[in-house]
């Protein structure tokens, strides 16, 4: 794939993400009770709404709602196994879409979940399998005209040359998306920290994130509370804030455009400071 021009803007619901101007923050609303980060809300709709509203008040640009655990060691469910997940995510998305001013994203690789979530008010899809687990999700995104996050996931095929594999994997996902009718401005890429990578490979990806700019798409970094931080610092998930902050600052220095996090308030401070240095963004902008 030849190098593309730098991305300019992506429309998501009532928000326009102007890539390069600042770092955007996605707040995680995890409804799975089996969350690796210990933040799973389950079926408590009021708790989910309260959490999302707090994240928006703290500065989140988008709320990402998911109903399936992606903790290491949990295999993907069948793309046809959707009933429980729908019962978790749809009522929450309906409430959030009616009560929040920021867009809602659905964290799912299943076309049936994504389709129902968009009808309920979601405005973005976050696919951790980059269109490869359920290719029909590409058609859902294309027909709705919404942005989609494409992740590079090595859980099915461990590799040795990690940056070469992540880059080529994302190239394949981008190609599949465009062939399916997804507009290029609606494609966001994610190297997939923690998904089928070793500790050393995760650290290498973060160190070499700038290489992914050659793909010409905005980059999402999702390191919040992940095992790479726990292994380096020997800390449990609920004590990984400073480690997460370090990866975010380094990510922004290497061209990351968006970060997905559990802890919005401190992340906003890290992003503002990093943007002031890297993007020369002025205080108060």
260 part of the active site: yes
3-state secondary structure string, 157-224?
CCCCCHHHHHHHHHHHHHHHHHHCCCCHHHEEEECCCCCCCCHHHHHHHHHCHHHHHHHCCCEEECCC
Which listed residue (95, 116, 217, 260) is catalytic? 260
Q: Are 259 and 248 in contact (CB under 8 A)?
A: yes
Name the 3-class secondary structure at 249.
helix
| Alpha carbon distance 118, 111 (integer Å) | 11
User: Which among 244, 253, 252, 187 is positioned nearest to 215, based on CA atoms?
Assistant: 187
226 part of the active site: yes
- H or E element that contains 63: strand 62-66
Which listed residue (116, 133, 197, 226) is catalytic? 226
**Taking phi first (over 0 means left), then psi (-120 to 50 degrees means alpha), and beta for anything else, what does residue 188 get?**
beta
Residues with catalytic roles: 226, 260
């Amino acid at each position: 794939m030849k190098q593309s021009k730098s991305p300019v803007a992506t429309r998501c619901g009532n928000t326009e993400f102007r890539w390069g101007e600042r770092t955007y923050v996605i707040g995680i609303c995890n409804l799975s009770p089996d969350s690796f980060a210990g933040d799973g809300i389950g079926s408590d709709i009021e708790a989910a709404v309260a959490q999302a509203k707090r994240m928006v008040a703290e500065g989140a640009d988008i709320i990402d709602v998911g109903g399936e655990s992606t903790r290491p060691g949990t295999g993907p469910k069948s793309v046809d196994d959707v009933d429980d997940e729908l019962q978790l995510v749809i009522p929450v998305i309906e409430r959030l879409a009616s009560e929040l001013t920021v867009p809602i994203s659905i964290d799912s690789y299943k076309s049936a979940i994504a389709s129902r979530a968009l009808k309920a008010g979601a405005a973005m899809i976050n696919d951790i399998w980059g269109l490869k687990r359920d290719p029909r999700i590409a058609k859902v995104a294309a027909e709705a005209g919404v942005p989609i996050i494409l992740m590079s996931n090595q859980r099915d095929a461990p590799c040795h040359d990690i940056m070469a594999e992540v880059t080529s994997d994302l190239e394949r996902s981008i190609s599949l998306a465009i062939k399916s009718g997804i507009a290029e401005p609606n494609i966001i890429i994610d190297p997939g920290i923690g998904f089928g990578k070793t500790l050393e490979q995760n650290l290498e990806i973060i160190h070499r994130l700038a290489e992914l700019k050659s793909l010409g798409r905005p980059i999402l970094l999702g390191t919040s509370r992940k095992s790479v931080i726990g292994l380096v610092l020997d800390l449990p998930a609920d004590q990984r804030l400073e480690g997460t902050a370090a990866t975010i600052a380094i990510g922004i220095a290497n061209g990351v455009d968006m970060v997905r996090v559990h802890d919005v308030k401190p992340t906003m401070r890290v992003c503002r400071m990093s943007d002031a240095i890297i993007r020369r963004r002025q205080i108060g902008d």
